[in-house]
């Protein structure tokens, strides 16, 4: 699983990264987690509002910080 956190490095982006790492620990899944800050790459996903979460090249969450429990459910499915 490859997970990308899209955003310019703001506080919300940092919180989404932290929550993502916590969720992966909760479900016991190993994944490659990347931070993407390049605006052109972010826009290539059709994301206009950050932070965003991309799982295996599919945008799952955009424009908000998801909680760890919500992310854990997402990663299990």
Q: What is the mean pLDDT of the chain?
A: 96
Strand 52-55, strand 58-62: pairing: antiparallel
User: Which residues are designated catalytic?
Assistant: 10, 13
Model confidence at 2: pLDDT above 90: yes
Q: How far apart are CA 71 and CA 60, in angstroms?
A: 10
Superfamily of domain 2-76: Glutaredoxin (3.40.30.10)
Cα 36 to Cα 41, 46, 50, 54, 76, distances in angstroms:
7, 14, 11, 10, 23
Asked if 49 and 7 touch (Cβ cutoff 8 Å), the reply is no
Sorted by where each begins, the domain ranges of the chain are 2-76
Over residues 1-8, the mean pLDDT reads 96
Over residues 21-46, the mean pLDDT reads 96
Q: How far apart are CA 10 and CA 29, in angstroms?
A: 26
């Amino acid at each position: 699983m490859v997970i990308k956190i899209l955003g310019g490095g703001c506080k919300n982006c940092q919180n989404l990264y932290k929550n993502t790492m916590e969720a992966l620990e909760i479900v016991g899944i190993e994944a490659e987690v990347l931070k993407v800050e390049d605006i052109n790459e972010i826009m290539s996903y059709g994301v206009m509002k950050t932070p965003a979460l991309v799982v295996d090249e599919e945008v799952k969450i955009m424009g908000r910080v998801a909680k760890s429990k919500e992310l854990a459910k997402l990663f299990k499915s």
